Structure 1
Amino acid sequence: MHLVVTAHTANGPLSHQRTSPEDALEKAQELEAEGHDHVVITDITGRDYAPPEFDSLFLNPGR
């Protein structure tokens, strides 16, 4: 699985590639904790998910 985690920083967009949903969510939460804005996880189809949405759809459905 190919996922891209992107955050908007004062210096522009910052992106990180991850291969597992767990790693992508962990990185997204880390970026949010650092205070970065508009953190999204993009899947291979190009669809963006906010970290809570990604978590509820792919890691903990039904919660």
Structure 2
Amino acid sequence: MQLVVTAHTADGPLSHQRTSPEDALQKAQELEAEGHDWVVITDITGRHYAPPEFDSLFLNPGR
């Protein structure tokens, strides 16, 4: 699985590729904790998910 984690920083967009949902969510949460804006996880179809939405859909459905 190919996922891209993107955050908007003062210097522009910052993107990281991850291959597992767990790693993508962890990176997204790190970027949010650093205070970056518009942190999203993008899947191979181009859909964007905010970290909490991604977590509830792919890692912890039904919570």
- Bin the TM-score by the shorter chain: over 0.9
Gaps of at least 5 residues in structure 1 are: none
1:13 Cα deviation after fit: 0.1
In structure 2, distance between residues paired with 1:33 and 1:4: 18
Q: Aligned residue for 1:40? A: 40
Q: Considering only aligned residues, what root-mean-square deviation do their CA atoms show, in Å? A: 0.1
In structure 1, distance between residues paired with 2:19 and 2:46: 15
Q: Aligned residue for 1:7? A: 7
In structure 2, distance between residues paired with 1:4 and 1:37: 15
1:33 Cα deviation after fit: 0.1
1:21 aligns with 2:3: no
Question: TM-score normalized by structure 1?
Answer: 1.00
Once the two structures are aligned, what percentage of the paired residues are identical?
92
1:7 counterpart SS class = strand
Gaps of at least 5 residues in structure 2 are: none
Question: TM-score normalized by structure 2?
Answer: 1.00
Aligned residues between the structures: 63
In structure 2, distance between residues paired with 1:2 and 1:44: 6
What do the CA deviations read for 1:4-49 (whole angstroms, capped 9, x no partner)? 0000000000000000000000000000000000000000000000
